[in-house]
Amino acid sequence: MWTQLAQDVINGKELSDHEALAILTVNDDELLPLLHGAFQIRKHYYGKKVKLNMILNAKSGYCPEDCGYCSQSSKSTAPIEKYPFITKEEILEGAKRAFENKIGTFCIVASGRGPTRKDVKVVSEAVSEIKEKYGLKVCACLGLLKEEQAEQLKQAGVDRYNHNVNTSQRHHDYITTTHTYDDRINTIEIVKKHGLSPCSGAIIGMKETKDDVVHIARALRALDADSIPINFLNAIDGTKLEGTKELNPRYSLKVLALFRYINPTKEIRVAGGREVNLGTLQPLALYPANSIFVGDYLTTAGQEENIDYRMLEDLGFEIELAEKQEELSRA
């Protein structure tokens, strides 16, 4: 059944609500056939290649927004390290580490509602040098964006901009009250308008329903997001969602399969919370997904990098470098 559905998806079929919910509620005994179907789709578009991303937290904490999952919100009492926007030189040091670790996409992420003029200037200056020295793809994630800021980032050579929808439109106000779901969509539309590749994803496990999860996957399809990071909530003490633990590894895999069946051609990344929520089943996530983050997340630690590289080797999958990065690595 799943293999046939996968073939239909490759041929252009869109899942019905019934089929989408069937993926999320499938009996655990059917998990491997479901993942096999998702892998057929992934393999059709991406083979066995895996894209690696690395996050640099360029500004930590001090955020006036109230996102319920986030330890960088001023509403959170989590004891995190807080610092203002880092320098161009510090961004370049991060890019050097990314290059040495075969990271194809270097993600410059900053806390806050949106970037200041100075933040955009620092990122823009850093990106020109990153491109020249390391050839990495660069993704910026700086919050709500204005038209002129999107244009400036594009001109500087930023490839991609991340702004997650995070959850469904229905559930959004439970998670955040200081900005709206439409504010988020608006930023993604601005990103697209200025020729940046849109990256937008979700955080699963924030008390949303299964219908919400289907809605998120469909919303990202409608937005035509090129890259879809799927985070699994790692609830941090001191945040509004402290103590929330709704996920298990098998359900997390079903969620990844759903996103692959609904967004067959897109880069789907297993993002934050991978280690905590998928546990020993992490390798299976790369059957529906074709990308992972390596290294630490914004305020939580990832697993040791050599374990990730070993996992890819054991799976027989191949790391995909950015084109220019490949040339520079050979030089």
Q: Which residues contact ligand SF4 (rule: CB under 6 A)?
A: 63, 65, 67, 70, 72-73, 111, 113, 143
Least Å distance, CB 143 to ligand SF4, is: 6
115 versus 143: smaller Cβ distance to ligand SF4: 143
139 is in an annotated binding site: yes
For ligand SF4, which is the closer residue by CB, 111 or 152? 111
CA within 13 Å, CB half, 330: 6
Out of 184, 221, 260, 269, the active site residue is 269
> 63 labelled as ligand-binding?
yes
Task: Determine whether 199 is an active site residue.
Answer: yes
Please check if 42 is assigned to a binding site: no
Catalytic residue among 42, 141, 184, 199: 199
> Catalytic: 70?
yes
CB of 74 to ligand SF4, least distance (A): 8
Structure tokens given for 92: 């370049």
Is 141 labelled a binding residue? no
269 annotated as a binding-site residue: yes
Annotated catalytic, 42?
A: no
Of the pair 164, 291, the CB lying nearest ligand SF4 is at: 164
Binding site, by residue number, is 63, 67, 70, 107, 139, 199, 269
Binding site for [2Fe-2S] cluster, by residue number, is 107, 139, 199, 269
List active site positions. Answer: 63, 67, 70, 107, 139, 199, 269
